[in-house]
Structure 1
Amino acid sequence: MRDIRDVKIADLLVDQANYRLPPQANQRDAIREMVRDQKRKLTVLGLDILTHGLSPSELLLASESTDQPGKFVVYEGNRRVTALKVMESPELALGLPTEQAFKRLGEQFKAKPIRSVDVCVVPDRETAMFWIQRRHTTGHNGAGVEGWGAMAQDRHDRDHDRPARRAIMAMELLEDGSDEWRRVSTRLEPRTTTVDRVLDMPYFEATLGVHFDTQEVVIEFENKDQQAGEDLLRRILTEMADPIFKFERVETADDRRTFIDSFSSYSVKKKDPPPADADTSASDSAHEGKGDATTAAGAPDANSGQTGTGTQTTNSGSGAGSPTGSGESSGTTSGAGSASDTGSSTGSSTSGGRGTRKRKDPLQRDTLAPTKQPYLLRVSGLRMSKLYEECKALKVDKHRNAAAVLMRVFLELSTDQFIKIKGLPVPTGMAQNGKSWDDVKLKPKIEAVTAALDPRKVDRGLDSARSAGADFIHGIPTLHRYVHGLDYVPEPSELKATWERWHPYLHRLHETINPL
């Protein structure tokens, strides 16, 4: 029978031989070393305990001290006990990086102190270690705690209104219960981040015609051929699950484009019917000032080098049908999806005996931010304006690291500017804990701004902002690596694509605070 006791915090001793740390000489040293080792994670744990209490599913595990009668040495739960003791006596963190944070937590702890906790008391350390091994190590043929795999984590995230990951969506679509696919899926699970690096590329959708709706969790194939689309995805995922597949094959953006191109013969892009007058070329029609020029789906765009879907129409004459009378007409050249998400372009055509001119694909530029309409932002404020000018001037090929950091700074300060001007309240839970916006990280800030811009979640252009917490090409984890990743070298093409994904968010944000 289990021996569960209500034990005072003061009677609990942290384990001076805790495997997380080197052996410690006394209780004070053991507590301070845990604070030093865990850093911010321990303050987060402390705040979580104050907010939600201790988990009823994970009792502390301890045995009676042989040296100090009436005391209990904790073997499982040392982080929780340390957090409680330091919140009760913040001076234990004196001189350590989290000293101020624990002082603030200490004030909250006084308002609702926790004086005792339930503890499962075992005879000795050896008995405790039998169970602790099952808690903190993997394996044991299923007898221990099994952590969630990538698919389980993704299903949990979807249930909590977070966008699905493309790799997991594809794996679930292809699940057929066969042993063969089970082997592929098992090998892919630890590689899902690598798979996402391929599937998240705008080039993937533009080249192969596969569209992922991560909000509705739907995969659509441009030519509507479900069987061919699934066959394409199966070939790609099976290739990446092969034991001899190396990450180096998809390490850079160029590597990933080459890998994607290797499957182009299985593309499910929609094929438009040929022009009615197949004997007359588009360029001849435009040059002579008569007829229409049509670019078939999947055909290379002569101006941008991108693959286009849709039609490009040229008006002849002196501007008939043009709203401006200048001979310009509106047309669209699209890779797939929105310009912000995939790098597709919305263009203009002009004729007059000099051929066809289309608006340039926003990804086909050498600066971090686009420099022409309709992709300009309406930015105000002395510093924000200067930062934006630098974003439009900085050449990503020559200054990729500076561009990466600048983009991260511009995104956060734009978010801060909106919060300040609109007077957004600090999220309830954080406000109750005495936090200001200065204490809030970027992800909750973006969530608050996105909710203010689109409370009903009807603007699909903000999907990239809503998925910012995920480890996507534009995600906050990637933005953090731009600043803190010692070995992370951003690709210029990825930086421009990342700006495109954030463009709808930045556009709506600055349009809202700077209306005409």
Structure 2
Amino acid sequence: MAIRRIALSALLVNRANDRHGELENETAAIAQLFASQEQHMRNLAKDLAAKGEVFEPPLVFPDGDKFVVADGNRRTTCLKLLSSPRRAPTVELQQFFTQLRKQWTGKFPDKIECRVETDRDRVDDILFRRHTGVQGGIGQSTWNDRMKNNFVIRTGKGNGLHVADEIEARLRSAKMLPSRKIPRSNMNRLLSSESLRNRLGISVRKGRLEFIREEQATLRALQRVANDLAARTITLDDIWDTEAKLEYLDDLDREGVLPTVAPKSKPAQASVSTPTHPAPQKPSPAKSTPWPHLIPQVNYGVTWAAHLQRHREIWEELQFKLKLSDHPNAISVLLRVLLELSIDNYIKEKSLISVHENDKLAQKAAKTAEDMYTNGKLDKKYLGEINKLKHGEKLISMDTLNRYVHSPNFNVSPEHLKMLWGTLSTFVVLCLTA
């Protein structure tokens, strides 16, 4: 640990802050902090201006010639906006920070005292033990369930089963363990979410690690990962966030390292033989207690990378917040938006040259589905279901979805929305996991 005075301009508000999950850049992170807790941010800024100092040094770690703020992002954001009010996300907030800056006691600091940690595992250990007490936004805010879940997904800490220990035991049993010690915290971080584990052929079910691909192929893939981590070919910096994890796994996929064949001798543990990103089965909520929202509360295997932030927000509103019985119109519009954003994500990630700028959404959906079919991600029957989107006057059609948005006389049926999601869910998930 070192205490250093660091230029405010050299501090980066964390775009992967566990308060909101991964975002594209610092500007988006600043905007999200105000979108989610504007009053707390205002209270904190007023307190900073009134006292003229920062009472607790932000926790930071080096990133090139900059320092990323691991803890203290709200404080740092307020200071940055007091220093440069034009960076505030709205005109109203720009005016607020302009007036507040005039109230600053004494000379405004161009440098602030920070606690610098170079070991990112230590940074996560510190974060795990903090966040108690709110004090109306002046003190550190307690993490809610989503924030805690973001932390677990990012780091692999506190999720029950110690995945790295299980993998090490399996490799040792198969006599495939590297000679060097595996940095288990890095292994846990890399395999912190189910969708990432699935790509390497494993799954955590009911507190147990299981193979969902051919066992020897999975073990070889795990051995490669273990060797990369043990030899420090892949370090914590290389798998710090979701984008970096996906990039590493994509590299393994291109090398042919990742398992693709499901085991045949153990049907209970088997999964459909598909490419690395398997097409998920259509899940359904428990019949005894119907889920009141559009998207059932099941794991669809989506890895929420930074560029999927808006997709994720819409998804979570449809899965946890908006009830079909109360908000059918809002849900119908958001479903249409989620479908379009998801299709555009697939087109961008796969660089589909067959899609033209002037193509309508139904044409984009058809071309996207055709590419999925060509690459073995969906079968011919399901391709036909998606192609129905091109036809008007059908319940499963883009015309119907467009009427939800534009028609003043079109009645929204919760049951029809459920049917639409039941049909489109696999397609949407494939678009999001491209």
Q: Highest relative contact order (Cα 8 Å, sep 6+), 1 or 2? A: 2
Q: TM-score, structure 2 length as denominator?
A: 0.36
Q: Say which one has the larger Rg.
A: 1
Q: TM-score, structure 1 length as denominator?
A: 0.32
